[in-house]
Structure 1
Amino acid sequence: MRAFINGRIRTGDPELPWATALVVDDAGLIVHVGGDDQIGRDIEHVDLGGGFVLPGFIDAHVHPKMAGLQIIGGTLVGQPDVEGYWGVLRSRLTEGGESDWVVLAGYAAIVMAQSGATRATLDSIAGSRPVVLVNSDLHGGLVNSAVLSIAGFEHGGGYPSELVEVDADGVASGYLNEEALNAVLALAPPASEETLLAAVRAAQAHLHSVGVVGWHDALVGDQHGLGDSVPRYIELHARGELTARVTGAYGWNRARGVEQIEAVRAYQADVNRSPIKVVGVKLLLDGVNEAHTAAMLHPYSDASGHLHDEGPSLIGREALIETVVALDAVGLDVHMHAVGDRAVRDGLDAVEAARRANGYGEARHQIAHALFVSDADVPRFAELDVTLDNQGVWSAADFLDVDGYAAMVGDEVMQTFYRYETLHATGLRWSAGSDWPVSSPAPLDGITAATRRALAPGAPAHDGWERLSAETVITAYTSGSAYSSRLPLNGTLRVGMNADFVRLSGDPTAVDYANTLTVEETVIGGKPVFRADD
Structure 2
Amino acid sequence: MTITADIIIHNSHILRPDGLGWREDVDALAVAKGKIVALGRDADMMAWRGPATETIDLAGGFLTPGLVDGHAHPIQGHDLQIGVDLAEVRDVTQLRAALAQEAASLRPGDWLQGHGLDPALLEGVGHPADLLEVVSGGRPVFLMFFDYHGAMVSRAALAKAGIAGPRSFASGAQILCDVDGLPTGTLLETEAVELIRSVLPRMDQATRLASMRRLFSSMAAAGLTGMHVMDANGDSLDCLAALEAQAPSPLRFHVLPWVNPGATRDELEAVLALQGRAGRLWRVCGAKFFIDGTIDAGTAWLHEPDLHGGCTGPHWPSPEAYSKAVHFFGKRGVQTVTHAIGDKAVRHVLETLASLPQPIRAAARHRVEHIETLPDEDIGQFAALDVLPSMQPSHAVRYASADQSDAWSQRLGPERAARGWRTADIAATGVRLVLGSDWPIAPYDPREILTCAVARRLPGHAASTAVGDAQVLSRAMALAGLTRHAAYAVEEETRLGALTLGFDADLTGFTVDPLRADVDELGMAPFGVTVCNGLVTHRRVN
Relative to the length of structure 1, the TM-score reads 0.90
Partner of 1:225: none
Q: Does the C-alpha gap of structure 1 residues 233 and 74 become closer, same or farther in structure 2, counting only changes over 3 Å?
A: farther
Of 232, 235, 241, 1:220 maps to: 232
1:490 counterpart = 2:468: no
Alignment of 1:396-435 (within 5 A): 396=397, 398-401=398-401, 402-404=404-406, 405-435=408-438
Report the 3-state secondary structure (helix = DSSP H, G, I; strand = E; otherwise coil) of the residue aligned with 2:355: helix
> What residue ranges of structure 1 are gaps of 5+ in the alignment?
223-227, 302-306
**Partner of residue 252, structure 1:** 259
Shift of 1:26: 2.7
1:135 and 2:135 aligned: no
Q: Which runs of 5+ in 2 are unaligned?
A: none
2:335 alignment counterpart: 333
* Aligned residue number for residue 459 of structure 1: 464
- How far off is 1:24 after superposition? 2.9
| Further displaced range: 32-41 or 197-206 | 32-41
Aligned residue for 1:260, secondary structure, equals helix
The change in CA–CA distance for 1:52 and 1:82 in structure 2 (over 3 A counts) is: farther
Q: Is the 8 A contact 1:132 1:144 kept in 2?
A: yes
SS of the residue corresponding to residue 23 of structure 1 reads: strand
TM superposition shift of 1:274: 5.6
CA distance in 2, matches of 1:35, 1:457: 38
**Match for residue 286 of structure 1?**
292
Return the alpha-carbon distance in structure 1 between the equivalents of residues 281 and 534 of structure 2: 18
Moved more, 243-252 or 398-407: 398-407
Match in the other structure for 2:274 = 267
Q: In the alignment, residue 465 of structure 2 is paired with which amino acid?
A: P
Asked if 1:175 is matched to 2:182, the reply is no
Letter in 1 for 2:99: L
Equivalent position amino acid for 2:433 in 1? W
User: Which amino acid in 1 is paired with 2:175?
Assistant: V
Change (3 A) 1:481 1:464: closer
Q: Does 1:7 align with 2:12?
A: yes
CA drift at 1:69: 3.8
* Distance of aligned partners of 1:26 and 1:123 in 2 relative to their CA distance in 1, 3 Å threshold: same
Check 1:83–1:375 CA distance in 2 against 1; reply closer, same or farther (3 A cut): same
Q: Which deviates more, 341-350 or 78-87?
A: 78-87
Which stretch shows the higher mean deviation, 450-459 or 68-77? 68-77
Q: Contact (CA 8 Å) 1:453, 1:465: kept in 2 or not?
A: no
Q: 1:462 to 1:331 in 2, by over 3 A?
A: closer
1:232 deviation in Å? 1.3
Kept in 1: contact 2:388–2:432 (CA 8 A): yes
In the aligned structure 1, how far is the partner of 2:270 from the partner of 2:123?
39
Equivalents in 2 of 1:516, 1:395: separation in Å?
19
Give the CA deviation at 1:33.
2.1
- Single out whichever of 481-490 and 235-244 deviates more from structure 2: 481-490
Paired letter, 1:195: T
List structure 1 runs of 4+ shifted beyond 6 angstroms: none
Does the 8 Å contact 2:217/2:250 carry over to 1?
no
What secondary structure does 1:259 align onto?
helix
Partner of 1:230: 237
**Mean Cα deviation higher: 161-170 or 311-320:** 161-170
1:102 aligns with 2:112: yes
Match 2:41 to one of 29, 35, 38: 35
CA RMSD of aligned residues (A): 2.5
1:52 aligns with 2:54: no
Conserved? CA contact 2:92–2:121, under 8 Å: yes
Does the Cα contact within 8 Å between 2:70 and 2:390 map onto a contact in 1? Answer: yes
Cα pair 2:168 2:174 within 8 Å, conserved: no
Distance 1:413 1:338 in 2: 15
Within the alignment, does 1:472 sit opposite 2:477 as a pair?
yes
Helix, strand or coil at the partner of 1:367 = strand
Amino acid at match of 1:377: D
Match of 1:124 in 2: 134
Distance 1:68 1:135 in 2: 15
What residue identity is the alignment partner of 2:477? T
**Alpha carbons 2:396, 2:467 under 8 Å: kept:** no
SS at match of 2:275: helix
| 8 A Cα contact 1:196 1:232, kept in partner | no
Does structure 1 conserve the Cα–Cα contact (< 8 Å) formed by 2:82 and 2:115?
A: no
- When residues 363 and 42 of structure 1 are mapped into structure 2, their CA distance, relative to the original with a 3 A threshold, is closer
> CA separation of 1:392/1:6 partners in 2, compared to 1, >3 Å: closer, same or farther?
same
Q: How does 1:348-367 map to 2 (within 5 A)?
A: 348-356=350-358, 359-367=360-368
Distance 1:83 1:233, change over 3 A: farther
Between the two proteins, what is the percent identity of the paired residues? Answer: 26
Aligned 8 A contact 2:152 2:186 in 1: yes
Deviation at 1:286, TM superposition (A): 0.8
Structure 2 residue 197 is matched with structure 1 residue 189: no
For residue 493 of structure 1, give the secondary structure of its aligned residue in structure 2.
Answer: coil
Q: What letter corresponds to residue 293 of structure 1 in structure 2?
A: T
Count of aligned positions: 521
Deviates more, 1:95-104 or 1:338-347: 95-104
CA distance in 2, matches of 1:81, 1:89: 12
* Contact 1:234–1:275 (8 Å) recurs in 2: no
TM-score by length of 2: 0.89
Q: Which moved more, 1:471-480 or 1:507-516?
A: 507-516
Report the equivalent of 1:145: 155
* Alignment CA distance shift 1:392-1:479 (3 Å): same
Residues 363-378 of structure 1 correspond to what in structure 2 (within 5 A)? 363-378=364-379
Q: Deviations over 1:347-373 (max 9, x none)?
A: 1112112245x6334312111110111
Q: Per the alignment, do residues 462 and 262 of structure 1 end up closer, same or farther by CA in structure 2, a change over 3 Å counting?
A: closer
Give per-residue Cα distances to partners, 1:290-311, cap 9 Å, x unaligned: 110011111113xxxxx21442
524-533 or 86-95: bigger deviation: 86-95
Q: How far apart are the structure 2 equivalents of 1:176 and 1:463?
A: 32
SS across alignment from 2:515: coil
Q: Which residue of 2 aligns with 1:304?
A: none
